[in-house]
């Protein structure tokens, strides 16, 4: 099976993007920055959720 | 005792119990056979943390005396088992799979070990795991004091994590059953990759006293075994109230297959896309055949959607905040740098910086998720999805990148139940993993998820599936 360059680019683009996004950081400092960035991204996703004021956290305290 | 053959290493708990109570084999003979096999073959899969031959023989001799005197204590009496090395066993190392804890010794047993001793089960050894159950996130399967967990079906592939040794040891017939733990996927993933049956119980049903804490509000302990039936028997033995575990639900589980609901009365949800575009291409034929086999159970199958929430971000925020507090001494002392995996080290360090507002927001969202699942499970009794979208990855595959051959669904593909592992863990839902086919030389599995405390229902569904399929009876090559 033969592909044109354009077809090949379309096929490979998602995989290349995924690899680029998650390429292993080179140093411990970069690794820490990447971990901090992941937590920040997670916090951003949580911030987009609306919450009623009355919603209490899901942990228990028994007096 | 003559040559006991290899069939016994893959026998169910009921089969072993019949051999023991009929005195066809003694508990001592059984313990010796399993511990020897675990010692000899466990290292082939990096599954063994610590063999316990002398302790097992002592326990087994006591069991033989009890059987001789007619003191029968149920189906687990005399049956050997293994535990993930995050459970304390008095006087012996409990490493949590991590170098900084390699010499750690506790002076009491974990609650599940005491409970299993109470019904006469015989601890054969401790099993390997991903370091600190992988809470910081890890890039390579090698993130373990014991080396990468090797899959008994193909040792060039991973056994899954973090309960790597528990799954591999059962798959290879090194123990009849094992105890593992799950915070988010650590039972479901290795069971799926190794082709064994496993049960993640409802949060709070099994005491975690004496288990390494990773996340107080997410951690659960559960069994790996050969059948759904075995999982029910084990869960009955290890469940129950424990005032020393603040997360304890204060209830027990009684395995009552005789009172199971008729399958034709059940409504089971699924998303077709999970078995098609969201599954790895190599696994799709197996998943589609499994879904067809599953549909023969007489239940009404309905297409459903997973309630939409940011499950992954909520779980990673909660896990980071709780593990940051738990492992703060490790992190601030600098000993965290002794861990194997650079991503794990960085993840743990970063976890000290989670703002309280983020943790609280995630925990508040969890309330909404619980409410959404209450509504969801008023519409269906259970949901069935693939355990993982595909088979085990290669041992050197970076786990934070897509594996070659993994599903690359076209843009706009519905999400299906791809978030079911974090969703199920956040909502404390039970899940039963059932081997359901092969993708090439590797097994794949279904998971059936239900409402909190619906384990008997899940086990009824699992037992039915296993009476009509034989995937759970398949043995990895070279394990004879």
Number of H helices, E strands in chain B: 14, 13
Percentage above 70 pLDDT, chain B? 99
- Cα B441 from Cα A44, distance rounded (Å): 41
The tokens 């008095």 sit on which residue? B90
Nearest-Cα distance to chain B for A22, in Å, is 6
Residues forming beta bridges with residue B158, ordered by sequence position: B150
The residues spanned by each domain of chain B are 1-401+413-475
What is the structure's pLDDT at A62?
67
Chain A interface includes B350 (CB < 8 A): yes
Chain A interface includes B353 (CB < 8 A): yes
Name the residue in chain B with its Cα closest to that of A34: B346
Looking at residue B115, what DSSP letter applies? H
The tokens 């199971």 sit on which residue? B260
Cross-chain residue pair B137–A51, CB shorter than 8 Å: no
Structure tokens given for B423:
């969703």
What is the structure's pLDDT at A25?
75
Comparing CB atoms, the residue among A14, A39, A49 nearest residue B320 is A39
| pLDDT higher than threshold 50 for residue B376 | yes
Residue B290: which of B469, B480, B104, B83 has the closest Cα? B469
Per residue in B13-41, pLDDT (tens digit) is 999 999 999 999 999 999 999 999 999 99
Cross-chain residue pair B355–A14, CB shorter than 8 Å: no
Residues forming beta bridges with residue B442, ordered by sequence position: B439
B contact test, residue of A35, A38, A55 with most B CBs within 10 A = A35
Segment B156-166 shows an average pLDDT of 98
Segment A37-47 shows an average pLDDT of 97
Active-site residue set of B:
84, 162, 186
Cross-chain residue pair A58–B317, CB shorter than 8 Å: no
What is the structure's pLDDT at A21?
44
Residues of chain A with Cβ-Cβ distance to B355 below 8 Å are: 43
Q: Which CATH superfamily is domain B1-401+413-475 in?
A: Amidase signature (AS) domain (3.90.1300.10)
Residue B118: which of B178, B77, B71 has the closest Cα? B77
A contact test, residue of B140, B350, B365, B404 with most A CBs within 10 A = B350
Contact between residue B245 and residue B111 where contact means Cβ atoms under 8 Å apart: yes
Looking at residue B423, what DSSP letter applies? H
| pLDDT higher than threshold 90 for residue B457 | yes
| pLDDT higher than threshold 60 for residue B327 | yes
Per residue in B173-221, pLDDT (tens digit) is 999 999 999 999 999 999 999 999 999 999 999 999 999 999 999 999 9
- Cα B301 from Cα B262, distance rounded (Å): 14
Name the residue in chain A with its Cα closest to that of B218: A59
Cross-chain residue pair A35–B366, CB shorter than 8 Å: no
Residue B135: which of B63, B219, B33 has the closest Cα? B219
Contact between residue B188 and residue B422 where contact means Cβ atoms under 8 Å apart: no
ipTM of this predicted complex?
0.91
| pLDDT higher than threshold 80 for residue A22 | no
- Single pTM value for the model: 0.94
What is the structure's pLDDT at A23?
61
Residues of chain B with Cβ-Cβ distance to A22 below 8 Å are: 398, 400-401
- Cα B266 from Cα B380, distance rounded (Å): 8
Lowest mean pLDDT among A55-59, B351-355, B376-380: A55-59
What is the structure's pLDDT at B2?
53
- Listed in sequence order, the residues at least 6 apart from B21 whose beta carbon sits closer than 8 Å to its beta carbon are B67, B72, B77
């Amino acid at each position: 099976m033969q592909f044109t360059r354009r077809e090949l680019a379309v096929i490979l683009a998602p995989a290349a993007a995924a690899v680029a996004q998650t390429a292993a950081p080179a140093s411990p400092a970069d690794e820490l920055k990447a971990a901090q960035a992941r937590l920040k991204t997670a916090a951003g996703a949580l911030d987009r959720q609306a919450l009623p004021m009355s919603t209490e956290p899901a942990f228990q305290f028994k007096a | 005792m003559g040559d006991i053959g290899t069939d016994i290493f893959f026998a169910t708990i009921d089969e072993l119990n019949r051999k023991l109570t009929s005195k066809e084999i003694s508990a001592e003979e059984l313990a010796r056979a399993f511990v020897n096999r675990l010692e000899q073959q466990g290292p082939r899969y990096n599954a063994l943390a610590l063999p316990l031959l002398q302790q097992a023989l002592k326990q087994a001799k006591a069991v033989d005396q009890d059987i001789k005197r007619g003191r029968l204590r149920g189906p687990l009496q005399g049956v050997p088992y293994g535990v993930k090395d995050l459970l304390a066993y008095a006087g012996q190392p409990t490493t949590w799979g991590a170098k900084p804890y390699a010499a750690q010794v506790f002076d009491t047993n974990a609650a599940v070990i005491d409970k299993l001793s109470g019904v006469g089960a015989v601890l054969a050894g401790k099993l390997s795991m991903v370091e600190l159950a992988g809470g910081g996130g890890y890039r390579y399967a090698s993130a373990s004091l014991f080396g990468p967990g090797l899959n008994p079906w193909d040792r060039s592939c991973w056994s899954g994590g973090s309960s790597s040794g528990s799954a591999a040891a059962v798959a290879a017939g090194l123990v009849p059953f094992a105890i593992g733990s799950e915070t988010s996927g650590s039972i479901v993933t290795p069971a799926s990759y190794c082709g064994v049956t496993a049960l993640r119980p409802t949060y709070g049903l099994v005491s975690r006293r004496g288990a390494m804490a990773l996340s107080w509000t997410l951690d659960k302990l559960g069994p790996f075994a050969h059948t759904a039936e075995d999982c029910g028997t084990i869960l009955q033995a290890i469940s129950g109230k424990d005032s020393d575990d603040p997360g304890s639900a204060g209830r027990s589980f009684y395995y009552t297959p005789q009172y199971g609901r008729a399958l034709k009365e059940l409504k089971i949800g699924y998303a077709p896309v999970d078995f098609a575009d969201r599954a790895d291409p190599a696994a799709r034929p197996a998943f589609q055949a499994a879904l067809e086999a599953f549909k023969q159970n007489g239940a009404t199958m309905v297409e459903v959607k997973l309630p939409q929430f940011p499950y992954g971000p909520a779980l990673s925020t909660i896990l980071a905040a709780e593990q940051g507090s738990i492992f703060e001494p490790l992190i601030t002392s600098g000993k965290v740098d002794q861990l194997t995996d650079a991503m794990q080290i960085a993840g743990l360090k970063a976890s000290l910086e989670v703002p309280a507002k983020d943790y609280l927001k995630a925990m508040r969202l969890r309330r909404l998720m619980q409410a959404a699942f209450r509504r969801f499970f008023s519409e269906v009794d259970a949901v069935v999805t693939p355990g993982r979208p595909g088979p085990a990855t290669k041992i050197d595959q970076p786990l934070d990148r897509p594996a070659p051959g993994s599903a690359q669904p076209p843009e706009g593909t519905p999400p299906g139940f791809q978030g079911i592992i974090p969703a199920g863990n956040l909502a404390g839902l039970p899940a039963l993993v059932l081997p359901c086919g092969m993708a090439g030389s590797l097994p794949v599995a279904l998971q059936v998820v239900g409402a909190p405390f619906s384990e008997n229902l899940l086990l009824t569904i699992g037992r039915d599936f296993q009476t009509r399929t034989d995937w759970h009876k398949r043995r990895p090559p070279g394990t004879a």
